[in-house]
């Protein structure tokens, strides 16, 4: 059975999509079969994996509303060993349309359960809010990976996110656990980045990945070419970091 990992943080701009795209691609590079699910109406993960989000017919929106089955919405082989469930701006309407639907928190879980055996990893890119879409992802997930930007307000939204995860554990998904925190956009030249890392380590009783993702020009450029970093610039610092993160994620499974 595949591990289902939600990449979540209700703060925007912390590197969620970057992490979902590149962790997926680096796990796939290690021979793992990966399904990436774009749960963000911005559709950044969809376009970052080279799919035109505006012209795609079947998306997560159609899946959640029961207009398409899960097999119809999966785009096969966007990168070698990576399949994708895309999303676009239509998804922002799902929240309203699902009001009054019974067990709406479980829609995604029920669909994922149908295909989970086919994948080693299912990586979900969550929107930057604690919305019904994020709750759906957390209910379907086995664990949550939290990217944190190395900046002054890094810890601010984190206690809220952890509280939400605990509520989901209590009421909807007993098995959910925090996979770990990964630091992103680390700038070794600033004391602030170092302070944030130390601060989070002191205040957070969570697993923290050893791998720290640097600020990296190539990493920022890659999505505009619709490629993960390990394909766009295989030797860049960003590619090396995400390979190390993928290795840690794989090893954590063996513990």
Order the strands of the 177-186 sheet from edge to edge. 75-79, 82-85, 34-38, 121-125, 3-7, 143-149, 177-186, 208-214
The 3-state DSSP class for residue 211 equals strand
What domains does the chain contain, in order, with CATH numbers?
3-254 (3.40.50.300)
Instruction: Give the separation between CA 52 and CA 246, rounded to whole angstroms.
Output: 26
pTM recorded for the entire structure = 0.94
Per-position pLDDT tens, the chain of length 255: 789 999 999 888 888 999 999 999 999 999 999 999 999 999 999 999 999 999 999 999 999 999 999 999 999 999 999 999 999 999 999 989 998 899 999 999 999 999 999 999 999 999 998 889 999 999 999 999 999 887 777 777 787 888 889 999 999 999 999 888 998 988 877 777 778 777 777 777 678 899 999 988 999 999 999 999 999 999 999 999 999 999 999 998 766
Instruction: Give the separation between CA 135 and CA 110, rounded to whole angstroms.
Output: 14
């Amino acid at each position: 059975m595949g591990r289902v990992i939600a990449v979540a943080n209700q703060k925007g701009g912390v590197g969620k999509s970057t992490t979902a795209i590149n962790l997926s691609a680096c796990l796939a590079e290690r021979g793992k079969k990966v399904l990436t699910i774009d749960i963000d109406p911005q559709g950044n993960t969809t376009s970052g994996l080279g799919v035109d989000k505006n012209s795609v017919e079947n998306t997560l929106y159609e899946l959640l509303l029961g207009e398409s089955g899960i097999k119809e919405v999966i785009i096969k082989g966007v990168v070698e060993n990576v399949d994708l469930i895309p999303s676009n701006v239509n998804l922002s309407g799902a929240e309203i349309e699902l009001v009054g639907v019974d067990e709406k928190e479980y829609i995604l879980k029920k669909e994922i359960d149908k295909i989970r055996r086919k994948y080693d990893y299912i990586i979900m890119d969550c929107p930057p809010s604690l919305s019904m879409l994020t709750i759906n992802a957390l209910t379907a997930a086995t664990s949550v990976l939290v990217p944190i930007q190395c900046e002054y307000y890094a810890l601010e939204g984190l206690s809220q996110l952890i509280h939400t995860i605990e509520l989901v554990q209590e009421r909807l998904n007993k098995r959910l656990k925090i996979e770990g925190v990964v630091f992103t956009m680390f700038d070794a030249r600033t004391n602030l980045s170092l302070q944030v890392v130390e601060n989070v380590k002191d205040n957070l009783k969570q697993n923290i990945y050893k791998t720290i993702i640097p600020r990296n020009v190539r990493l920022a450029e890659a999505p505009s070419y619709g490629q993960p970093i390990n394909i766009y610039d295989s030797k860049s610092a960003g590619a090396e970091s995400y390979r190390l993160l993928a290795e840690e994620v794989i090893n954590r499974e063996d513990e």
